Amino acid sequence: MRRAWRTDTLLPRTTALRFISVSATATCLSVAAAGQSSSARCPACGRLSRARHSRYWRTLKDLAVQGQAVILRVHVSRWRCRRAGCATQVFTERLPGVCVPHARHTQRFADIIHLVGYAVGGRGGERLLHRLGMTVSDDTLVRTLKRRASPGTSGDVLRIMGIDDWAWRK
């Protein structure tokens, strides 16, 4: 039995990606896409570059489809910065709305990780996400919560401090 997959449900809602193909295996669904840019801005100096260095496949975890894990394989470009004084000589194509630089999962996957981690916690969230087809470790859930936590303002005054009980002898 063949399934008909719609591209608008498989890819994040952005113009940064162009759908290529989808293939299903027993363990996961692999979606191939490509970046659409013919140029990119250097993240260090902001200069527009049209000098493509190379291309490579970037693998990202994405939201599960019908309880089946989804791997998003994106064909992205590396670009050269031609500005003489710039410290960045080669940089990669940015995918706004899809993922942040150096991430191994999409932004919408990270949002779900954050919400489940906040509501359920580390190990419980790990079990829940595994049942939903999105395997992630409890450490990743806690790390995501810590990364997104907003620091308290320096003007806050500590009003109550609790001290745990302990025993000097048993």
Is the Cβ–Cβ distance between 61 and 23 less than 8 Å? no
Answer yes or no: is pLDDT of 127 > 70: yes
- For 29, counting Cβ atoms within 10 Å of its Cβ (0-12 exposed, 13-18 middle, 19+ buried), the class is buried
pLDDT tens-digit series, residues 86-117 = 888 999 988 888 888 889 999 999 999 999 99
Consecutive H or E run containing 115 = helix 107-119
pLDDT tens-digit series, residues 132-144 = 999 999 999 999 9
Spatial distance between the Cα atoms of 117 and 140, rounded to a whole number of angstroms: 9
In this prediction the pTM is 0.76
